[in-house]
Structure 1
């Protein structure tokens, strides 16, 4: 069976004004030696007022301006792509300029509509983002690859393989409908060494452009793996600044351990709780579709440094606690246990939302209450009316932060709960809630989200891990 690697390059991998594109070309050339390649691209970064910014954020800002009656502008976007255009040779430059102008016209039209309607939502928002970001970048990369002697092609939106439901701004992948729509991209893969496509973007069966939530390019890579796993020997490769280490290097600067393997469960939990490994929904979609795809996180600057993510891991010899991570801006929703089941079913079926964990229940005045830890307090604020509709006496507590330890075999670590909780106390933090479950190998510690509480707790626990014995 022919090999296929779905390689995803995010904004940081592309770099400001495309400065890391030469490294991307090198990586793709290496990948295509042994495999067909589908390259998934996010929107690039730019430099604005001396700071790195994603073009996604630039467009969201312009959309907000349009909504508030301020004339929107694509000047920053256009100047970024003009710099990227310099990487294309004379043979391909005119065709690429036409694609660039066409997509920017579509993005400007969407912003103009937002300005006229004083509303930057739904398809208008999605079109502005797609045609200035991911879709345009995938076409630009196609011409850059052609300019470097690679046999490549890009996927037009008319032939888009990712079919989604009708939730425009935070859409959901429909695998069965997407399988009916992969003929064109399959043909492109068969005929080329590399096929480029924009991440984050979907469309409905009625051709309405949709977007995933932030981080959605990871989901695009996973979705393509799901669609192609029967036709090719398929794997997924996320190209990043580094492979996975034992904590966020922006928080913990010393004694970081390299993580060679993660299970699907470990990777998903780490993503949910703040580690920027990959979008946890990408793992969820792979599991829900019954697919077993090998995933690698590759250090693009040093490709020998990788982390492998697998459904079933090889025998593990390192420390069972692989990652210490944390999440700010969480909320706890308390509801009578008798009412929670309807809410959970609705979150799954209606909202298709899964960024929460169930904490241990408690009993008060003879009534059992359940607690849901939502990992996005803003989501709870936007949906307060919906959530309280399941129990008007339910309560919501905001400004909570959470720290968790990741490791499926954490049960092998002696005194882990007592040692980590003591370390948080030594750091001067008050533990508001601690939830340890042997069945899930999970320890969740809740503290007040204030100041540097979460960062200080992560530093303290990470320092202690290497001192704790394990079986």
Structure 2
């Protein structure tokens, strides 16, 4: 069976104004030596007010300005693509300029509609983001690849293979419907060395433009893996500026361990709880579709450094506690246990939402209450009325942070719960909740989300781990 690599390149991989595109060309050229390649691209970064920003954020800001009655502008976006255009040779430049103009006209049209109606939402928002960011970048990268003698083609939005439901701004992948629309993309893969496509973007069966939530390009890569795994020997490669280490290097600057392998479960938990490895929903979609695809996280700068992610690992190597991570801006929802099942069913079937953890229940005045730890406080704020409709006496506590230890074989570690909790106490932090079991792939510690509490706890626990013995 022919090999296929779905390689995702995010904004940081592209660099500000496409600074790292030469490295991407090297990586694509290497990947295609013995495999077909589908390259998934995020929106590029730009430099604005001396800071790195995604064009996604720039366009979102213009959309908010349009709602306020301020004339929206794509000048920053245009200047970014003008810089990237310098990487296109003369043979491809004219067509690339036409492509940029065509897509930015569509994006500007969406922003103008937002300005006219004083509303930047739903398909207007999705079109503005799609045609200024991911879709346009995939077409520009197609011209850059051709400029480097690579036989490539971009997927046109008319032929888009990622079909989603009608939740326009927070959409969900529909595998069966996508399979019915993937023939054009299959032909492109068959007839080219590399096919480029924008991440983050979908469309409904009625051709309405949709977007995933932030981080959605990871989901696009996973969805393509799901679609192609029966036609090719498929793997997914996330190209990053580093492979996976045992904690966020922006928080912990010493004694970091390189993590060479993770299970699907470990990777999903790490993503849910704050590690920017990959979008945890990408793993969830692979599992729910009954697919077993090997995933790698590759350090673009040093491609020999990779982290392999598999459904099941044959042999666990190294320290059983692989990652210490944390998440700010969480919320705890308390609800009578008798009402929780309806809520959980609705979250799964109606909202397709799973970024939460059920904590241990408690009893008060003879009534049992359940607690749901939501890992995105903003989601809870947006859906507060929906959540409280299941129990009018339910309560929500915001400003909670969570620290998590991750490792499928953490049960092999002696005194892990007691020693980590003691270490947090020594750091001057008050533990509001600790959820641990004798045999678990995670330990959850909830603290107040103020100041630098989360970072302090991560540093303290990570330092302690190396001193904990395991069998």
TM-score, normalised via structure 2 length: 1.00
Question: Contact 2:410 / 2:439 at 8 angstroms: preserved in 1?
Answer: no
Question: How far apart, in 2, do the equivalents of 1:82 and 1:396 lie?
Answer: 48
Q: Deviations over 1:30-83 (max 9, x none)?
A: 000010000000000000111100000000000000000000000000000000
Question: How far apart, in 1, do the equivalents of 2:78 and 2:438 lie?
Answer: 53
Q: Deviations over 1:149-205 (max 9, x none)?
A: 000000000000000000000000000000001100000000000000000000000
Question: How far apart, in 1, do the equivalents of 2:196 and 2:229 lie?
Answer: 18
Q: Deviations over 1:194-220 (max 9, x none)?
A: 000000000000000000000000000
Question: How far apart, in 1, do the equivalents of 2:316 and 2:223 lie?
Answer: 29
TM-aligned CA deviation for residue 328 of structure 1? 0.3
Question: How far apart, in 1, do the equivalents of 2:98 and 2:317 lie?
Answer: 55
Question: How far apart, in 1, do the equivalents of 2:230 and 2:441 lie?
Answer: 33
* 1:232 correspondence with 2:222: no
Query: What SS class does the counterpart of residue 436 from structure 2 fall into?
Result: strand
Query: What SS class does the counterpart of residue 405 from structure 2 fall into?
Result: strand
Question: How far apart, in 1, do the equivalents of 2:49 and 2:335 lie?
Answer: 47
The within-5 A match list for 1:181-330 is 181-330=181-330
The within-5 A match list for 1:73-84 is 73-84=73-84
TM-aligned CA deviation for residue 367 of structure 1? 1.1
Question: How far apart, in 1, do the equivalents of 2:180 and 2:438 lie?
Answer: 43
Question: How far apart, in 2, do the equivalents of 1:67 and 1:231 lie?
Answer: 46
Query: What SS class does the counterpart of residue 4 from structure 1 fall into?
Result: strand
2:363 matched to which residue of 1? 363
TM-aligned CA deviation for residue 463 of structure 1? 0.2
Query: What SS class does the counterpart of residue 437 from structure 1 fall into?
Result: coil
Provide the aligned C-alpha RMSD in A: 0.5
The within-5 A match list for 1:85-234 is 85-234=85-234
2:51 matched to which residue of 1? 51
How many residues in Structure 1 have an aligned counterpart in Structure 2? 471
Q: Deviations over 1:219-246 (max 9, x none)?
A: 0000000000000000000000100000
2:352 matched to which residue of 1? 352
2:422 matched to which residue of 1? 422
Question: How far apart, in 2, do the equivalents of 1:438 and 1:347 lie?
Answer: 29
TM-aligned CA deviation for residue 309 of structure 1? 0.2
Question: Contact 2:11 / 2:45 at 8 angstroms: preserved in 1?
Answer: yes
1:336 matched to which residue of 2? 336
1:386 matched to which residue of 2? 386
Q: Give unpaired runs (5+ residues) of structure 2.
A: none
Question: How far apart, in 2, do the equivalents of 1:137 and 1:317 lie?
Answer: 39
1:468 matched to which residue of 2? 468
TM-aligned CA deviation for residue 394 of structure 1? 0.7
Q: Deviations over 1:226-271 (max 9, x none)?
A: 0000000000000001000000000000100000000000000000
Question: How far apart, in 1, do the equivalents of 2:51 and 2:468 lie?
Answer: 41
Question: Contact 2:240 / 2:298 at 8 angstroms: preserved in 1?
Answer: yes
Question: How far apart, in 1, do the equivalents of 2:129 and 2:317 lie?
Answer: 45
Question: Contact 2:359 / 2:373 at 8 angstroms: preserved in 1?
Answer: yes
Runs of 4+ with deviation above 4 angstroms? none
Query: What SS class does the counterpart of residue 350 from structure 2 fall into?
Result: helix
Question: How far apart, in 2, do the equivalents of 1:316 and 1:328 lie?
Answer: 30
1:374 matched to which residue of 2? 374
Question: How far apart, in 2, do the equivalents of 1:377 and 1:411 lie?
Answer: 30
2:14 matched to which residue of 1? 14
TM-aligned CA deviation for residue 439 of structure 1? 4.7
TM-aligned CA deviation for residue 455 of structure 1? 0.3
* 1:402 correspondence with 2:386: no
Query: What SS class does the counterpart of residue 404 from structure 2 fall into?
Result: strand
